[in-house]
Amino acid sequence: MKKRVLLVDDEEGIRTSLKMILEPTYEVICAADAHEGLDQFRREPPNLILLDVILPDSDGLTLLQTIRAEDPHIPVIMLTAMKTVKTAVDAMKMGAADYVTKPFDLEELRLIVAKALAAEDLEREVRRLRAQVVSRYAFHNLIGKSPSMQEIYSKIEQIADARTTVLITGESGTGKELVARALHYNSSRRDRPFIALNCAAIPETLIESELFGHEKGSFTDALARRAGQFELAHGGTLFLDEIGDLSLSTQAKLLRVLQEREFTRIGGSHPIRVDVRFIAATNKNVVELLRRKLFREDLYYRINVISLYLPPLRDRREDIPLLAKHFLAKRLEDEKQSPLDLSKDSLEALLKYHWPGNVRELENVLEQATVWCRGNTISPEHFPSTLRGGAQSDSLREETLSGRLPFEKAVQEFEKEIILDALRRTEYVQTRAADLLGISRRMLKYRMDSLGISRTEGHPPSDASEMVQ
Ligand SMILES: Nc1ncnc2c1ncn2[C@@H]1O[C@H](COP(=O)(O)OP(=O)(O)OP(=O)(O)O)[C@@H](O)[C@H]1O
Ligand SMILES: [Mg+2]
């Protein structure tokens, strides 16, 4: 298909001659003034515009501005007489791609048009790839390229603007709150409040007043009238976190609000109507709670209109390297440290670990590692022993059973690992480390010497240990 060029010039002679030389390659549409030009531009969007600096009803610069506001990328080439070259240069500052001076060298004009179109093709491709990368690896502070995260991103996009209640489930630290925020900030409610309420953190006696608010004097401590979270979230989103921890009586009251979309303050008499989008989350197994009659079935069906399940990190290990890089970069921004890398074996350790605390645990592990790490590269010894130990013994076993590492050597390595671990846990006090291992101090010393462990091996620098305390 031919590319379309829009030519806006009031001189008929110019329109005819330009049309003639461009027509074989492009589809050329002509307009004689700004008004008609804008009309054409909107009706049949061109790939490029040739725009005269001086037009009978307006000037080219004003039209350029209008076009730029509607399409920031379309290449515009200014046509100018010698005496208006300065204006053409101003136009380039406003985003015109190039300018040609009248009378035209027709060959030059053809080249300029072809070049501008080629450049725009390239830029469009870059924009497309960039958008793809962004949507594939991250979405509203969520990082992850695994298929399950991809699915979460697209579900968020689909349901963000609905008023439907969403239930987010998943183990602790899988990113439920982050998803709730992404839903809010992707919806048309984004300029209204996002209020997060952790149901597990509020004592049962206070939860109703927290949710519904109270009138002055409605109970002993109610010294003044207070708006509840439902009211504060009006027009926005209320995120009810750890909803599995609500008592049955609060569940009943919450159900009523969800059904009626109105409530009364404690001690109040007027019902208050609210427009609130509810998002609930829990790391408990709701089906199990239902079975044990700890969660109301009717409430469950009310909130579980759409559910989002966040899989544990160990089921989407391909996200680990990306998340690790993200947290290291974030840490860098906070602390203005020099850039840190992950060594190959430390990345392997991260990939092998089973992450019971999910992304939150990964974030913590990396944060600690940046404190211990003195150089530019994080290695496994900067990780807590749970992570390192497991990973180490797993890989030793693997190496030995596949015939790559002699049995004797594996046992030695394992012994070394355990001794180093004991030393780290006892702050390098050898008598305590020996106690921990159930051997004598002399035995420990002997093993350390024969395994080649120096007294301070793996010992963190003293100022680093101060930083942690
Ligand atoms: N996909 C992700 N990308 C980037 N950061 C993440 C991601 N998932 C979780 N995090 C980070 O991990 C931490 C825990 O996330 P969040 O608080 O959303 O978890 P949660 O599922 O609500 O956990 P809990 O059930 O314990 O409340 C946060 O610091 C969050 O920024
Ligand atoms: Mg949470």
Whole-angstrom CA distances from 86 to 31, 60, 377 are 24, 13, 55
Domains of the chain: 4-131 (3.40.50.2300), 142-311 (3.40.50.300), 317-468 (1.10.8.60)
Residue 103's pLDDT is 85
Q: Is the pLDDT at 137 greater than 70, yes or no?
A: no
Query: pLDDT per residue over 233-271, tens digit each?
Result: 999 999 999 999 999 988 998 999 888 888 888 888 888
Do residues 226 and 214 touch, judged by C-beta distance below 8 A?
yes
Query: pLDDT per residue over 187-201, tens digit each?
Result: 999 888 999 999 888
Cα(169) to ligand 1 centroid in Å equals: 12
Residue 330's pLDDT band (cuts 50, 70, 90): confident
Quote the mean pLDDT of the chain.
86
Residue 65's pLDDT is 92
Ligand 1 binding pocket mutation candidate from 139, 178, 361, 362 (most atoms within 8 A of CB): 178
Q: Is the pLDDT at 131 greater than 70, yes or no?
A: no
The arithmetic mean of pLDDT across residues 409-426, rounded, is 81
Residue 453's pLDDT band (cuts 50, 70, 90): confident
Minimum mean pLDDT range among 23-37, 393-407, 432-446:
393-407
Residue 324's pLDDT is 95
Tell whether ligand 1 has an atom less than 6 A from the beta carbon of residue 175: yes
Ligand 1 binding pocket mutation candidate from 143, 177, 179 (most atoms within 8 A of CB): 177
Largest CA distance in the chain: 104
Structure tokens at 361: 């645990």
Query: pLDDT per residue over 213-230, tens digit each?
Result: 988 877 767 677 788 899
Residue 465's pLDDT is 34
Cα(134) to ligand 2 centroid in Å equals: 25
Query: pLDDT per residue over 12-36, tens digit each?
Result: 999 999 999 999 999 999 999 999 9
Q: Is the pLDDT at 175 greater than 90, yes or no?
A: yes
Residue 269's pLDDT is 86
Residue 406's pLDDT is 83
Residue scoring higher pLDDT (297 or 460): 297
Residue 180's pLDDT is 96
Q: Is the pLDDT at 464 greater than 50, yes or no?
A: no
Query: pLDDT per residue over 284-311, tens digit each?
Result: 889 889 999 999 999 999 999 899 999 9
Cα(178) to ligand 2 centroid in Å equals: 8
Query: pLDDT per residue over 93-130, tens digit each?
Result: 888 999 898 888 888 999 999 999 999 988 888 777 76
3-state SS of the chain? CCCEEEEECCCHHHHHHHHHHHCCCCEEEEECCHHHHHHHHHHCCCCEEEEECECCCCEHHHHHHHHHHHCCCCCEEEEECHHHHHHHHHHHHCCCCEEEECCCCHHHHHHHHHHHHHHHHHHHHHHHHHHHHHHHHEECCEECCCHHHHHHHHHHHHHCCCCCCEEEEECCCCCHHHHHHHHHHCCCCCCCCEEEEEHHHCCHHHHHHHHHEECCCCCCCCCCCEECHHHHCCCCEEEEECHHHCCHHHHHHHHHHHHHCEEECECCCCEEECCCEEEEEECCCHHHHHHCCCCCHHHHHHHCCEEEEECCHHHCHHHHHHHHHHHHHHHHHHHCCCCCEECHHHHHHHHHCCCCCHHHHHHHHHHHHHHHCCCCEECHHHCCHHHHHHHHHHHHHHHHHCCCCCHHHHHHHHHHHHHHHHHHHCCCCHHHHHHHHCCCHHHHHHHHHHHCCCCCCCCCCHHHHHHHC
The arithmetic mean of pLDDT across residues 371-394, rounded, is 78
Cα(312) to ligand 2 centroid in Å equals: 14
CA separation for the pair 258, 298 (Å, rounded):
11
Predicted TM-score (pTM) of this structure: 0.59
Q: Is the pLDDT at 347 greater than 50, yes or no?
A: yes
Residue 462's pLDDT is 40
Cα(175) to ligand 2 centroid in Å equals: 7
User: Which atom of ligand 1 is found nearest the CA of 198?
Assistant: 27
State percent of the chain over pLDDT 90.
43
Ligand 1 binding pocket mutation candidate from 145, 174, 282, 283 (most atoms within 8 A of CB): 174
